[in-house]
């Protein structure tokens, strides 16, 4: 009994330490976003001597965050929607038609999980097709980067669905399109929502891709607006922290709303073939 209690105490202590490690930087960012320029530069964990709520209004106005919010929502929403829908179709075909070609194609797609993005090659390809430095080019880049993860997760979920559902639908006269959208999609709804939320947050938080592929500041998402307040000659850390808080707020709210789908969707697909 004592051994069990000791293990419980150790687990709680470890969880508390890990929580502090995660929450301390978030607290520092939040609290320094209300400080003056001089005080925020110290990056201390103490409360502000004077609260500057106007930092957020200045960041929204001067940092063009409304435009950045539109760009972020456009990139994340459109690319994630396209990726989830098309990858669900591909995963269904790869799962149900297990030919040697489809099996090799699946492992080829899966290899994308282990290779980093080569931005030099990516820029060259987008330039060749005439979509470099455009919002369309960014959407294409984001969508393609999601394919390996989406196919992998959705396929593992579809494997758990009995083939008898397909056979029953085909006997009733359903075609491939009707079978997928009316039978399969409702059954895989949890994993579709899970993948959508995870990939949406990933695109929203992606800093490097828009940095390399954006041709002008008008294309910048919210997380790149930090460059309006941070540079070689000056650093307004209070505005930088306020910008970070405003950028993180939408994905935090999205995660809070969809966290039950994330847990349920990921665990439901954990079945071996």
For residue 31, being part of any structural domain is answered with no
For residue 46, being part of any structural domain is answered with no
Q: Range with the lowest mean pLDDT among 55-69, 171-185, 224-238?
A: 224-238
For residue 12, being part of any structural domain is answered with no
Whole-angstrom Cα Rg for the chain? 23
Gap between the Cα atoms of 273 and 259, Å rounded: 27
For residue 256, being part of any structural domain is answered with yes
CB 157 within 8 A of CB 191: yes
For residue 22, being part of any structural domain is answered with no
Q: Any idea what the CATH number is for the domain that residue 225 is in?
A: 1.10.3720.10
For residue 24, being part of any structural domain is answered with no
| Res 63 pLDDT > 50 | yes
For residue 8, being part of any structural domain is answered with no
Gap between the Cα atoms of 25 and 22, Å rounded: 7
Domains of the chain: total: 1
- What is the pLDDT at residue 115? 83
Q: Domain containing 95: what range?
A: 62-268
Q: Range with the lowest mean pLDDT among 86-100, 145-159, 205-219?
A: 205-219
For residue 217, being part of any structural domain is answered with yes
């Amino acid at each position: 009994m004592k051994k069990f209690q000791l293990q419980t105490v150790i687990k709680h202590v470890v969880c508390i330490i890990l929580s502090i490690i995660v929450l301390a930087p978030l607290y520092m960012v939040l609290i320094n976003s209300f400080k003056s320029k001089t005080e925020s530069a110290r990056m201390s964990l103490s409360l502000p001597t004077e609260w500057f709520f106007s930092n957020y209004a200045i960041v929204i106005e001067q940092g063009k965050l409304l435009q950045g919010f539109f760009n972020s929502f456009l990139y994340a929403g459109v690319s994630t929607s396209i990726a989830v829908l098309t990858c669900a179709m591909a995963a269904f075909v790869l799962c149900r038609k297990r030919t040697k070609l489809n099996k090799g194609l699946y492992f080829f797609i899966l290899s994308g999980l282990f290779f980093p993005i080569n931005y030099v090659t990516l820029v060259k390809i987008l330039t060749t097709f005439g979509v470099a430095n455009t919002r369309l080019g960014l959407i294409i880049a984001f969508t393609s980067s999601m394919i390996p993860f989406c196919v992998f997760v959705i396929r593992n979920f579809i494997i758990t669905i009995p083939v008898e559902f397909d056979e029953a639908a085909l006997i009733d006269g359903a075609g491939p399109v009707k079978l997928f959208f009316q039978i399969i999609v409702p059954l895989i709804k949890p994993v579709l929502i899970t993948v959508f939320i995870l990939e949406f947050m990933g695109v929203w938080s992606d800093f490097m891709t828009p940095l390399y592929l954006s041709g002008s500041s008008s294309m910048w998402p919210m997380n790149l607006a930090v460059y309006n307040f941070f540079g070689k000659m000056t650093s307004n850390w209070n505005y930088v922290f306020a910008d970070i808080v405003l950028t993180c707020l939408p994905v935090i709210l999205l995660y809070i709303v969809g966290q039950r789908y994330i847990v349920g969707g990921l665990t439901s697909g954990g079945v071996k073939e």
